[in-house]
Chain A
Amino acid sequence: MTSVFGVPLPAILGQLMLGLVNGSFYALLSLGLAVIFGLLGVVNFAHGAFYMLGAFAAYVGLETFGMNYWCALALAPLAVGILGIVIERLLLRHLYQLDPLYGLLLTFGIALIAEGIMRGLFGASGKSYPVPDALRGGFNLGFMVLPIYRAWVIFASLAVCGATWFLIERTRLGSTLRAAGENAALVQAFGINVPLIVMMTYGAGVALAALAGVLAAPVVQVSPLMGSSIVIVVFAVVVIGGMGSILGAVVSGLVLGLIEGLTKVIYPEASNIVVFVIMAVVLMWRPTGLFGRESP
């Protein structure tokens, strides 16, 4: 059997596949962070918490109401997005005039509250969520078996990322959004309701995080702590990619997921830290990130 670094090839491909799945979650999450940051100038620390809430919404939906996966995929992001809109209305809105650090601190506090509530209600241990029937099993590619669900996660994430990119970079609504990010007062003067756009954008970014959570529910353990560990990695991804760029966020998310998967094969002890090491190296070489424009 062929092997690389003394590891059989199917095992490597399996890890790379898993890396790509994780990379899809990083891409979806950093995409949402980039969209929110682009318009609100807020680094949403609660992003990991919304991802966790999305996964829990799917889990509770199934356990309590028998809601199937496909309904969860539509309803969980909607519910979490509405929660995001409420938070934007009640709290975040009042901080736009202040130093952006306050937005980071506020969302950090919100993340603590969300995580604490879920831990109080469900305990710290992980819950498993079944893979939906239609996506069970795998394709046999000859050299490895490709689990259908993992392929679906990668496909769905790429499709959502692509659609979001198209929406923001190529449509009229997107150009309005980007203009409002550049100069809110001027866009407002054209008769566009900027506060409404800002509110909806936060809701949409948060819904993306919840969508990633639902996609992740069958492959990871659904636990209150799943968000706080991933959000720091996603921050590193965003710093590496440069926060102003949507394409940069998606590409660096996928690539770093792959690198993380590869590290699990070659040197498993370093798989937790490889993203942070890469971030440090990139910062020494290009302080603005790989795709970043001049920092604000």
Chain B
Amino acid sequence: MKARTRLYAALAILGLAAPWLGLYPVFVMKLLCFAMFACAFNLLLGYTKMLSFGHAAYFGASAYTTGWLVTAQGWGTIAGLLGGVAVSMLLGLAIGAIAVRRQGIYFAMITLALAQLVFFVCLQAPFTGGENGLQGIPRGSVLGIIDLGGDAAMYYFVLAAFAAVFVLIRRIVHSPFGQVLKAIRENEPRAISLGYQVDRYKLLAFVLSASLAGLAGSLKALVLGFVTLSDVSQATSGDVILMTLLGGSGTFLGPALGAIIVISLQEYLSDLVGAWVSVMIGAIFVVCVMTFRRGFIGEIERRLGRRV
């Protein structure tokens, strides 16, 4: 067996066994949701070098939609998830179509500003609960067959969704489409001169990333049973950038590892130090940008001289 296959088999066993390792299942599910979010974000930053500074917009909009559909409209869990993903997909299409017209820092600023617009819409729209958010979102069941009310069933549902998204992103990156994305990342003018409609590739990557980020947000809404404004806020957009950067952008496992580190730190330190958590997050940002730009997995790959 190749080392990479062994690594993934070990991770799969770890994932399947996690509920029996004494870890709090809801917390592990939250980790998986943010890991999925970071993997979706990485499709843009890592493989196309598009820094979206407002990815919480899709995460949060989808979470709100699913929460509203399941709670106020009585939709089933799967239909609610698909509804949320559809909304984040359309939102990604609308914002992406505007943003891909500019590159680099302009792209970052435009996505940031439009995400702030989404934030204010969520703050004021009648169905989002304003400052209170949505609460008491039921988990429901998978098509009436598997009840997701228990933590174990919900955990395996989220794990399966994460595994599917992870495999999908691997497939996308290794597909001819993904190769073109990497060509854009390395040298955009050259990709244009080779005849690729670069803006279309970038837009499709953006829509895919927004949709998968939306799925992550919707799952998180079901897992925790609530959606708040912080899910669409700029702080969450910053967190996902840090997760990807810290774990290693442009690597498969990096964003997931980064999500685990960042969420665990926030979870355990917010009780101890309160407002100073954002100082710590900022400090990690500064250290990462100054001295650790490859991230954990990126550094490991460089030492090993091959990809994992």
| B286 & A106 in contact (Cβ 8 Å cutoff) | yes
B72-80, B81-89, B102-110 - interface stretch: B102-110
Kindly identify which residue among B103, B106, B124, B282 contacts A116, using a CB–CB cutoff of 8 Å: B282
- List B contacts of A219 (CB < 8 A): none
Give 1 or 0 for each of B93-116: 1 = CB within 8 Å of chain A CB: 000001001111110111011101
| B289 & A120 in contact (Cβ 8 Å cutoff) | no
Give the interface SS of chain A, mostly helix, strand, loop or mixed.
helix
B9-17, B21-29, B167-175, B269-277 - interface stretch: B269-277
B229: shortest Cβ distance to chain A, in Å?
13
A165 located at the interface, meaning its Cβ lies under 8 Å from any Cβ of chain B in the complex: no
B81: shortest Cβ distance to chain A, in Å?
28
A100 located at the interface, meaning its Cβ lies under 8 Å from any Cβ of chain B in the complex: yes
Q: Contacts A108-B238, A116-B282, A236-B113 given: A295-B106 contact, CB under 8 Å?
A: yes
B107: shortest Cβ distance to chain A, in Å?
9
A133 located at the interface, meaning its Cβ lies under 8 Å from any Cβ of chain B in the complex: no
- List B contacts of A98 (CB < 8 A): 293
Q: Contacts A112-B238, A112-B285, A273-B120 given: A105-B245 contact, CB under 8 Å?
A: yes
| Extra A-B contacts (18), CB below 8 Å, given A109-B288, A287-B102 | A43-B109, A95-B290, A101-B49, A104-B51, A105-B241, A105-B245, A106-B286, A109-B283, A112-B285, A113-B278, A113-B282, A116-B282, A117-B279, A232-B112, A235-B109, A280-B114, A280-B117, A295-B106
B121 located at the interface, meaning its Cβ lies under 8 Å from any Cβ of chain A in the complex: yes
- List B contacts of A273 (CB < 8 A): 117, 120-121
- List B contacts of A105 (CB < 8 A): 51, 241, 245, 285, 288-289
| A283 & B116 in contact (Cβ 8 Å cutoff) | no
| A112 & B279 in contact (Cβ 8 Å cutoff) | yes
Q: Which 4 A-B pairs have the closest CB atoms?
A: A109-B285, A112-B282, A116-B279, A113-B282
Give the interface SS of chain B, mostly helix, strand, loop or mixed.
helix
- Identify the closest chain A residue to B50 (Cβ): A101
- List B contacts of A113 (CB < 8 A): 278-279, 282-283, 286
Bound-state Cα–Cα, A41 to B123, Å: 34
- List A contacts of B114 (CB < 8 A): 276, 279-280
- Identify the closest chain A residue to B233 (Cβ): A228
B263 located at the interface, meaning its Cβ lies under 8 Å from any Cβ of chain A in the complex: no
| B286 & A239 in contact (Cβ 8 Å cutoff) | no
Kindly identify which residue among A94, A115, A232 contacts B113, using a CB–CB cutoff of 8 Å: A232
| A276 & B281 in contact (Cβ 8 Å cutoff) | no
- List A contacts of B113 (CB < 8 A): 232-233, 235-236, 239, 275-276, 279
- List A contacts of B284 (CB < 8 A): 109
**Which of chain B's residues 238-297 have a Cβ closer than 8 Å to chain A?**
238, 241, 245, 274-286, 288-290, 293
- List A contacts of B106 (CB < 8 A): 239, 243, 295
Bound-state Cα–Cα, A273 to B117, Å: 5
Bound-state Cα–Cα, A228 to B102, Å: 23
| B105 & A104 in contact (Cβ 8 Å cutoff) | yes
A1 located at the interface, meaning its Cβ lies under 8 Å from any Cβ of chain B in the complex: no
A124 located at the interface, meaning its Cβ lies under 8 Å from any Cβ of chain B in the complex: yes
B61: shortest Cβ distance to chain A, in Å?
14
A163 located at the interface, meaning its Cβ lies under 8 Å from any Cβ of chain B in the complex: no
Bound-state Cα–Cα, A113 to B284, Å: 10
| B289 & A279 in contact (Cβ 8 Å cutoff) | no
- Can you list 14 A-B pairs with a CB-CB distance of less than 8 A? A94-B290, A95-B289, A106-B290, A108-B241, A109-B282, A117-B279, A120-B276, A228-B234, A235-B112, A236-B113, A239-B113, A279-B113, A283-B98, A287-B101
A277 located at the interface, meaning its Cβ lies under 8 Å from any Cβ of chain B in the complex: yes
| B116 & A232 in contact (Cβ 8 Å cutoff) | yes
Bound-state Cα–Cα, A228 to B238, Å: 12
- Identify the closest chain A residue to B54 (Cβ): A232
Give 1 or 0 for each of A172-183: 1 = CB within 8 Å of chain B CB: 000000000000
- List A contacts of B120 (CB < 8 A): 272-273
- Identify the closest chain A residue to B121 (Cβ): A273
Bound-state Cα–Cα, A241 to B32, Å: 41
Kindly identify which residue among B49, B110, B234, B279 contacts A120, using a CB–CB cutoff of 8 Å: B279
A119 located at the interface, meaning its Cβ lies under 8 Å from any Cβ of chain B in the complex: yes
- List B contacts of A94 (CB < 8 A): 290
- List A contacts of B282 (CB < 8 A): 109-116
Bound-state Cα–Cα, A269 to B120, Å: 9
Bound-state Cα–Cα, A269 to B126, Å: 12
A16 located at the interface, meaning its Cβ lies under 8 Å from any Cβ of chain B in the complex: no
Bound-state Cα–Cα, A108 to B289, Å: 10
- Identify the closest chain B residue to A287 (Cβ): B101
A238 located at the interface, meaning its Cβ lies under 8 Å from any Cβ of chain B in the complex: yes
Kindly identify which residue among A109, A112, A238, A284 contacts B98, using a CB–CB cutoff of 8 Å: A284
Q: Contacts A109-B289, A113-B283, A239-B113 given: A283-B275 contact, CB under 8 Å?
A: no
Give 1 or 0 for each of B173-197: 1 = CB within 8 Å of chain A CB: 0000000000000000000000000
B199: shortest Cβ distance to chain A, in Å?
11
- List B contacts of A284 (CB < 8 A): 98
Kindly identify which residue among B102, B108, B116, B288 contacts A295, using a CB–CB cutoff of 8 Å: B102
